Amino acid sequence: MKAFVVACFVAIALAAIWSVVLNNVQEPVDQAFATPYARVGT
Amino acid sequence: MAMLLARIRTIAAALGLVLMLVAPASLQVSAQVDPNASAVQERQLLNQLKTIQGLGTIPDTKSYVLEHPAGRSWERFHNVTLRWIAGIAILGFLAVIVGFYLVRGSVKLEGGFSGRKIVRFNWFERFVHWMTAVCFVILAISGLNITFGRPLLLPLMGAERFTVWSEWAKYAHNYLSFPFTIGVVLIFLMWLAGNIPNRVDVEWLREGGGIVGDKRPPAERFNAGQKLVYWVVVLGGGIVAVTGYMLMFPFYGTTIDAMQTAEMVHGVAAALFIAFMLGHIYIGTIGMEGAFQGMGEGTVDLNWAKEHHSLWLAREMERGNARVVAAE
């Protein structure tokens, strides 16, 4: 039971770390798929 | 002279009249030429070309693509073919499991529980298994929502609730991919030595694996069925992880065609993976008496080990590794 609970917490922690990495690496869609001089909605 | 001029005028007028009558007819002949005869029709372009693109001067070359006919084939696969494959695989396998349980029932422990237990999986092994399993379940549900959510859940939940649910499901799908991948890698390394197929597995399968028929064929730490689960997890998990990361990082070395292929492979591999794991979940819970304790508590009953993994038990006893825990 303890292994299961710890596994859940570690999975959440790793997911949180990955979310930080993704948010830093990936651009928002309106920037990733447009050139710097063609911004939509800004 | 005047008479001659008059006659010339008459003849000229007659000729002019004739020309006026003839000219429109000749114009109509030239109007019958088809101006589109040499142009390519749109349907022809869509059938022959995967991508229709022009030339541009801005650095973003993706913007040169005008139409992507191949995307229509992919859309049909995603909305029609994949749903059939996943539906048949998952529901079909579920039906087989239910039918098997109704006919065969749970595999009981013939000698009964002895009350003495032996350690089967240590804490780290159980931790890795459960981290991977929990991630797998959430990834499966959120992934199935991408394939089936719109036709099945949207009419039930309504647009707003479905949107919120799908948004959080997609975040969960993206973020939990990381611990799932780590779990698959650790499982591969941790249990590789015990999951190499050998002759014992051939005999085990030949004698029904202890689940078909009444025999209890000898097995090592992992029987042939468990080895099959191991390789499905490692290979299937590897495929969905690689294709998933290709999709999570669009245009990082991939084209639209490559990502469409990755999405198709990801969807089919995931659907088959889910169907197969239903069998693993069944046998590890209600399908076999005493099985769940191995991964739930880490220990199994001595009689259970003797009946289902006799070669493993003998080896553990011989090495002096067997840590027999007395009944509580």
Distance CA A8, CA B31 (A): 78
Token pair for residue B85? 């494959």
B44 min Cα distance to partner chain A (Å): 29
| Chain A residues whose beta carbon lies within 8 Å of the beta carbon of residue B179 | 10-11, 14-15, 18
B133 min Cα distance to partner chain A (Å): 9
Count up the domains in chain B and report the number: 1
The CATH number given to whatever domain includes residue B263 is: 1.20.950.20
Does B233 fall in a domain?
yes
Q: How many residues can be counted in chain A?
A: 42
Is the confidence at residue B278, as pLDDT, over 90?
A: yes
Question: Contact, B169 vs B142, CB < 8 A?
Answer: yes
Beta bridge partners of B324: B118
| Chain B residues whose beta carbon lies within 8 Å of the beta carbon of residue A17 | 178
In this complex, do B130 and A14 lie within 8 Å of one another by their Cβ atoms?
no
| Chain A residues whose beta carbon lies within 8 Å of the beta carbon of residue B177 | 18
Does B298 fall in a domain?
yes
Is the confidence at residue B225, as pLDDT, over 70?
A: yes
The string of pLDDT tens digits covering residues B44-100 is: 767 777 778 888 887 777 778 888 888 888 999 999 999 999 999 999 999 999 999
Distance CA B76, CA B260 (A): 12
The string of pLDDT tens digits covering residues B162-201 is: 999 999 999 999 999 999 999 999 999 999 999 999 999 9
In this complex, do B127 and A1 lie within 8 Å of one another by their Cβ atoms?
no
Question: Contact, B269 vs B238, CB < 8 A?
Answer: no
Does B315 fall in a domain?
yes
Q: What is the pLDDT of residue B70?
A: 83
Q: What is the pLDDT of residue A42?
A: 52
What is residue B299's three-state secondary structure? strand
In this complex, do B126 and A3 lie within 8 Å of one another by their Cβ atoms?
yes
Q: What is the pLDDT of residue B247?
A: 94
In this complex, do B179 and A6 lie within 8 Å of one another by their Cβ atoms?
no
**Tokens 């114009």 -> residue:** B27
Sheet holding B299-301, edge to edge: B299-301, B117-119, B324-325
User: Chain B residue with minimal CA distance to A25?
Assistant: B249
Average pLDDT over residues B19-42: 62
At what angle are helices B123-148 and A2-25 packed, to 10 degrees? 50
Percent of chain B residues topping a pLDDT of 70: 91
Question: Contact, B300 vs A5, CB < 8 A?
Answer: no
Choose among B62, B172, B174: nearest Cβ to A22. B174
When pLDDT is cut at 50, 70 and 90, the band that residue B300 belongs to is very high
**Optimal mutation site among B127, B256, B297, B299, interface A, most CBs of chain A within 10 A:** B127
Q: What is the pLDDT of residue A35?
A: 64
Token pair for residue B116? 């003495």
Does B231 fall in a domain?
yes
Model pTM?
A: 0.82
Does B157 fall in a domain?
no
How many other C-beta atoms are found inside a 10 Å radius of the C-beta of residue B65? Answer: 14
Question: Contact, B173 vs A18, CB < 8 A?
Answer: no
Does B80 fall in a domain?
no
Q: How many residues can be counted in chain B?
A: 328
Distance CA B136, CA B229 (A): 14
In this complex, do A6 and B127 lie within 8 Å of one another by their Cβ atoms?
yes
Q: Which residues numbered 283-322 in B keep a CB inside 8 Å of some CB on A?
A: 296-298
The answer to whether B171 faces chain A, any CB pair under 8 Å, is yes
Does B226 fall in a domain?
yes
Q: What is the pLDDT of residue B140?
A: 98
Average pLDDT over residues B144-149: 96
Closest by Cα among B177, B247, B237 to A19: B177
When pLDDT is cut at 50, 70 and 90, the band that residue B35 belongs to is low
Q: Which ranges constitute the DSSP H helices of B192-223?
A: 199-206
Is the confidence at residue B26, as pLDDT, over 70?
A: no
In this complex, do A7 and B249 lie within 8 Å of one another by their Cβ atoms?
no
Is the confidence at residue B33, as pLDDT, over 70?
A: no
In this complex, do A15 and B182 lie within 8 Å of one another by their Cβ atoms?
no
Domain limits at B315? 104-120+192-328
| Chain B residues whose beta carbon lies within 8 Å of the beta carbon of residue A11 | 131, 134-135, 176, 179
Does B258 fall in a domain?
yes
